[in-house]
Amino acid sequence: MKEFPRVSACVVLYRSGAQALDTLQCLKASAPQPEIYVVDNHGGDGLAAQVAERFPDLCLLPQAENLGFGRGNNVVLPLLRSDYHLLCNPDVTFPPELLARMTAWMDAHPEAVILTPKVLNMDGTEQFLPKGEITVRHLLGGRLERLGGCFRRWRREFTLADEQVTQPRKVRFATGCFLFIRTEAFRTLEGFDPRFFLYQEDSDLSRRAEKLGDIVYHPGMTVTHAWARENTRTLRGNLRQVRSIFQYFHKWGWKW
């Protein structure tokens, strides 16, 4: 009788660039190796063909259109057989022992439903990502932090940037760039809300996951995230983010 894998992982591709191959190599090098799914959101850049050639044993799931991040990840829901499932951006790299460490930690802490790591920039500095409750002022802080003053203060409050977090602690938000979740919980939540095409889908998932258990930030576990930040560089990205913000607060209520 074939044993089911302890960990599964999904990487969604859409014009992701060659760095996605590095992400997949990290997954392949992990011990034990997860069951890896690659969802190709019809990027038309030939990346899926490169993945199929370099990693012929991965489960490649080509789509007829761009489903977005959330719906793309949801494609694998009926296929999952693991204890834990990793949602991983195609611009993230990490050491080969990380998934084994995360699995062991979650085994020892049944009250946790999601484990989220410290995220680093390419130069090794910390990429201070949200960890608190999503509010209007926190999102304003993220978009206007460069202006300083209250905006910078709100952003730092949101990301715990002024706290010396040295031990695992409960938080309110888990970034979708690298999200380690109990598979049964992901299935119970029915994955991401498909109404969020891109941005805030992880905010919504975190909000719903809190009803099932703790979201835990572990500063002793680290990944590196290239972080393209399309939302701050293009009109299209900005419009998508603003739309998702309105969708989120329409669903959960506006809170300053």
Assign residue 52 the CATH number of its domain: 3.90.550.10
CA separation for the pair 132, 63 (Å, rounded): 34
Structure tokens at 217: 């930030």
Nearest to 11 by CA among 222, 131, 175, 179: 179
The pTM of the whole model exceeds 0.95 = no
Q: Residue 89 domain-assigned?
A: yes
Do 113 and 119 touch, CB atoms closer than 8 A? no
Taking residues 120-147, report their average pLDDT.
Answer: 89
Q: In which domain, by residue range, is 30 found?
A: 7-252
Q: Is the pLDDT of residue 76 over 60?
A: yes
Q: Is the pLDDT of residue 234 over 80?
A: no
Q: Give the model's pLDDT for residue 204.
A: 93
Do 14 and 80 touch, CB atoms closer than 8 A? no
- Percent of the chain past pLDDT 90, that is, above it, reads 71
Q: Residue 200 domain-assigned?
A: yes
Q: Residue 1 domain-assigned?
A: no
Q: Give the model's pLDDT for residue 232.
A: 53
Q: Residue 2 domain-assigned?
A: no
Name every residue whose Cβ is closer than 8 Å to that of residue 125 and which is 6 or more positions away in sequence: none
Counting the structural domains of the chain, the total is 1
Q: Give the model's pLDDT for residue 230.
A: 54
Confidence of residue 195 (pLDDT cuts 50, 70, 90): very high
